[in-house]
Structure 1
Amino acid sequence: MHTAASLLALASTASASLMGFNYGSTFTTGAAKVQSDFEAEFTTAANLKGTSGFTSARLYTTVQAGTASDPISAIPAAIKTNTTLLLGLWASGGDTSFANEILALKAAIQQYGDAFTSIVDGISVGSEDLYRNSPEGIEAGSYVGTNPDTLARYIKDTKDAITGTGLEGAPIGHVDTWTAWVNGSNQAVVDACDWVGMDAYPYFQNTMANDITESKSLFEEALQKTQSASGGKAVWITETGHPVSGDTVGQSVASPENAETYWKTVGCPMFGQMNVWWYTLQDAAPDTPSPSFGIVGSTLSTTPLFDLSCKNVQTNSSSSATSPSATSGSGSGSASASSGASATGSNQNSGGSPGGVPSAQISIQESATVTPSAVSPYATGTGSGSGAGSYGSGSGSSTNGTFTAPSASASATSTIPVGDAADLRSGGFGAAFIAIMVAIFAL
C-alpha cells in the first residue's frame, strides 16, 4: 500500500501537467546506458535554455540493458536528479520477456522503496505493440507486436504485481499510435487502461497533405480521434515531434526550422495543459539516425538546435488575471465553418483546467452550434456574456471561444471539439515510420 509520501507524490502528479522526454536504454551503438549517462540526460533536460519543467522521463523498459531482469539504472539516476518517471514495461518480447519486466519492477520497489515509488508518474505496459501487430505495421516491415488480448492480460498482471506495494494505485496505461486507438478491434486495451498514451507524427502521414503548415491540424485531428476512442479516459501525449534532419516524407521536410515550428505550434499550446513526453531530447548518440528527432545533437548540451521558448506563441488555452478574487462568469456563442454536417458542442472551463484561468478562479460556460470544417474538428465563433467577482462585475464578449470578463481583468481561451469533422483518415506512416520505431527501442 502507499505510504504517506507516495500518496502525496501521486496526488501532486495527478494535479499537475507533466513535461518530459523519451529515453532509450542504449546508445545507437547498442552499448547500455549506465546511471551516469541517465543523470547527464535528465540534468540536461531540466536545464534546457528556453524551457523549464521538463523533469519527467518516459522509459520503454524497466530492465537494465544487458541483463535479464535487473532494474534499469535510470531509476537511481531519476532519484538523484529529482526526475519523475513514466515507467515502461516492454510487451513485445513474449511472456518470458514480460515476466522479466515484472521482476525488475518488483526488485526496484524492494531496492529503492519510497525514493522510487514516490517519483513514478505512471506505468506504461507496452509501446506501439498494436501498431506493429496491425496490417499497416506489418506492411511497413515492423517487427513483432502484441495482440490486444495479450496486452490487456499484461496490464492486469502489472496491477496484480504492484498490489500491496508502494506503487499500488499507480495509473497504468498503454502507449500506441493514434491509428491503433481508433481501431475498434483494440477495445480490450482501452477498457484495461487507466489512461491512454498517444503517439502522433504528422511528419510520417504521407498519404495526405503533411507540409509543416498542416502539422498542427493533423495533430489536433489525431488527438480528437484518440479522445473520442478513449471512452472518457485521460489521453497522455507520449510521443510527438518533428525531425531536424532526414528524408522529406510526403511534403514534410526534416529541418531545424520545421522542428522549431512544430515545437511552437503543437508543443507550446500543450505544455502545462496536458501530460506530454516529447520525442526526443537526443537520438544522435553517438551516431545520427535518419530521420533524427533530437533537439540536441550528438553532444549533450543545454543549448538546443533551435529556439524552445514559448514566448509570444498563440496557444489553444491562455489566461491572464490581475484579480485573484474573481469567481464566476458565463458566455455563449455560435460558430460556423466551411463544410461538414452541423453539430452542437459545449465546453465547461474552470480554474485549473485547460482553457481556464487558475489564478482568477473564473468559471466559464461556452456553448455553440457549429458546422465543423472537413479539415479540422475545431470551430470558432463569436458571442457575448457576463461575469462577476469580488473585484467587480460586467459584460464581455466571446471571440473564437474566448470569453473576457473586463471588470475582473481576466480572460480564458478554449477550442470547442464538436465531433467528427471528416471521415477517419489513414495515418499512412509507411516504411519510414517503422525505421524510427526500431531506432527508438535501440536507443
Structure 2
Amino acid sequence: MRFSSLYSLAAAFHGAAAQIRGFNYASTLSNSAPAQQSDFNAEFTAAKNLPGTSGFTSARLYTMIQGGTTDTPISAIPAAIATNTTLLLGLWASGGTFANELAALKTALSQYGTDFTNLIAGISVGSEDLYRISPTGIENNSGVGAEPSDIVNYINQVRSAIQGTGAKGKPVGHVDTWTAWVNTSNSAVVDACDFLGMDAYPYWQTTTDNSISSANATFFSAYDATVGQAKGKPVWVTETGWPVSGPTENQAVASTQNAQTYWSQVACSLLGKVNTYWYILQETASPNFSVVSAGDVSSAAPLYDLTCAASSSGASAQ
C-alpha cells in the first residue's frame, strides 16, 4: 500500500481521532481470574510510558461486563478515568448475552457520567461474530457467532441506549476480520456502522505466502480490500501483531526478531495516521503476541525496539 492512500484515509478522520494509539485488553488474567481495577491501572499506565513510543493512551475492550458478574460494568472504566485512558468499548454480541452487555453499558453511563463518556473513543458492537459463522470460522471451530441482522439490531439498540447521555454522537461500529468485511453478504453491517474495525494477521494467513518478508504487503492488501468495501466509512485497525513465540504457521515464524520487523513496517506505518489498537500489551498464550513480558508490567521493558524512525514513518508496502 502506498503512503498516499494511507494518508488520504487518515485525512478523513477529525482532529485527535486520527491519533488514537492503543492496545487490546482482556477482561481476565493469565490464570483466568477476572482482571480488577488495579490490574487495568497498571496496564494502562505501562502502555502510556512504553520506552521508544510517544505513549499508547487508548484501550480496546471486548466486553462491558466485569468478570464473575452478570451485568456489572467492567472495572477497566474507573481505571481509565484514573489514568485518563480513552476507550474503544466492546459489547460481546455472540452467545445470547447481549442484553447483559447493554445493561452494563447503561449502568456505566449512569454511574460514571461525563468522567466516563468524555473518554469514549468509540463503541464496538461485537467482535469477529461474522467470521465465526463463516465457512472458515466454522472449519476452525471458532465458536458461536452472530448473523448480520443480529449485529445490525444490536447496533440500533446501542444507538438508542446512548441517546440523551454524554455518549450521544460517539461512533458506533463493529469489529471483524478483514475477510468478513470483504464478504458482500455482510454489507448491511457496513451500512449500520459509523466505522469498521478490522482485524488482520498475516501470521494466520496460511493459505498464502505468510512469511515475515511478505507480511507488510499482506497486511496492507487486507487493509486496502477492507477500505474498498467500507463505503467511505473510516477503517480502524483493531487487531494486528506478530507473535514473539509459538508454533510456525506455514511460512510464518514466531520470534522476537520477526515481531520487531512487523512492528517497524506495519505499526510504524499506521501510528498517528489510522486509529490503531495493537495486539497485545501482555499475554501468556501460545502463540504469544506480547509487547512486554507478562507479569509486573510496571517495570517491564519492551521485548523489542518500539522506536519508529522518522524516515520510516509513513513507509508501507509498495
Report the TM-score range of the alignment, normalised by the length of the smaller protein: over 0.9
SS at match of 1:113: helix
Residues in 1 aligned to 2:95 and 2:210: alpha-carbon distance in whole angstroms: 33
Q: Does the aligned pair in 2 maintain the 1:49–1:302 contact within 8 Å?
A: no
Q: Does the aligned pair in 2 maintain the 1:265–1:313 contact within 8 Å?
A: no
Q: Does the aligned pair in 2 maintain the 1:17–1:272 contact within 8 Å?
A: yes
Larger strand proportion, structure 1 or 2? 1
Who is 1:194 aligned against? 194
Who is 1:311 aligned against? 309
Residues in 1 aligned to 2:206 and 2:217: alpha-carbon distance in whole angstroms: 14
Letter in 1 for 2:288: S
Query: 1:200-219 residue pairs with structure 2 within 5 A?
Result: 200-219=200-219
SS at match of 2:34: coil
Letter in 1 for 2:164: G
Who is 1:296 aligned against? 292
Who is 2:246 aligned against? 246
Residues in 2 aligned to 1:313 and 1:87: alpha-carbon distance in whole angstroms: 34
Are residues 1:156 and 2:160 paired?
Answer: no
Residues in 2 aligned to 1:118 and 1:13: alpha-carbon distance in whole angstroms: 13
SS at match of 2:231: coil
The Cα shift of 1:302 comes to 4.2
Query: 1:238-387 residue pairs with structure 2 within 5 A?
Result: 238-284=238-284, 289-299=285-295, 300=297, 301-316=299-314
Change (3 A) 1:65 1:206: same
Q: Write the deviation string for residues 376-428 of structure 1: whole angstroms up to 9, x where unpaired.
A: 7x5xxxxxxxxxxxxxxxxxxxxxxxxxxxxxxxxxxxxxxxxxxxxxxxxxx
Residues in 2 aligned to 1:277 and 1:100: alpha-carbon distance in whole angstroms: 25
Q: Does the aligned pair in 1 maintain the 2:268–2:314 contact within 8 Å?
A: no
SS at match of 1:87: strand
Residues in 1 aligned to 2:208 and 2:166: alpha-carbon distance in whole angstroms: 46
The Cα shift of 1:313 comes to 4.8
Query: 1:136-147 residue pairs with structure 2 within 5 A?
Result: 136-147=136-147
SS at match of 1:208: coil
Letter in 1 for 2:241: G
Who is 2:34 aligned against? 32
Who is 2:7 aligned against? none
Residues in 2 aligned to 1:157 and 1:13: alpha-carbon distance in whole angstroms: 27
Q: Does the aligned pair in 1 maintain the 2:173–2:193 contact within 8 Å?
A: yes
Unaligned runs of 5+ in 2: 1-12
SS at match of 2:89: strand
Who is 1:414 aligned against? none
Who is 2:184 aligned against? 184
Percent identical among aligned pairs is 58
Are residues 1:175 and 2:175 paired?
Answer: yes
Residues in 2 aligned to 1:313 and 1:136: alpha-carbon distance in whole angstroms: 39
Q: Does the aligned pair in 2 maintain the 1:268–1:313 contact within 8 Å?
A: no
Q: Write the deviation string for residues 293-327 of structure 1: whole angstroms up to 9, x where unpaired.
A: 01111222441111110125523369xxxxxxxxx
70-79 or 296-305, larger mean C-alpha shift? 296-305
Change (3 A) 1:67 1:12: farther
Q: Write the deviation string for residues 166-189 of structure 1: whole angstroms up to 9, x where unpaired.
A: 101110000000000000110111
SS at match of 1:237: strand
Who is 2:61 aligned against? 59
Residues in 2 aligned to 1:126 and 1:61: alpha-carbon distance in whole angstroms: 9
Q: Could you state the TM-score of these two structures normalised by the residue count of structure 2?
A: 0.93
Q: Could you state the TM-score of these two structures normalised by the residue count of structure 1?
A: 0.67
Query: 1:11-30 residue pairs with structure 2 within 5 A?
Result: 13-14=16-17, 16-30=18-32
Letter in 1 for 2:309: K
Larger Rg: 1
Letter in 2 for 1:230: A
The Cα shift of 1:52 comes to 1.4
Q: Write the deviation string for residues 123-170 of structure 1: whole angstroms up to 9, x where unpaired.
A: 000000000111110001111100101001100010011111110111
Who is 1:41 aligned against? 43
Letter in 2 for 1:255: S
Change (3 A) 1:207 1:247: same
The Cα shift of 1:29 comes to 1.7
Letter in 1 for 2:182: V
Who is 2:70 aligned against? 68
Letter in 2 for 1:235: V
298-307 or 203-212, larger mean C-alpha shift? 298-307
Letter in 1 for 2:210: N
Who is 2:3 aligned against? none
Q: Does the aligned pair in 1 maintain the 2:19–2:272 contact within 8 Å?
A: yes
Residues in 2 aligned to 1:130 and 1:176: alpha-carbon distance in whole angstroms: 7
Unaligned runs of 5+ in 1: 1-9, 319-375, 379-443
The Cα shift of 1:266 comes to 0.5
Cα RMSD between the aligned structures? Answer: 1.5
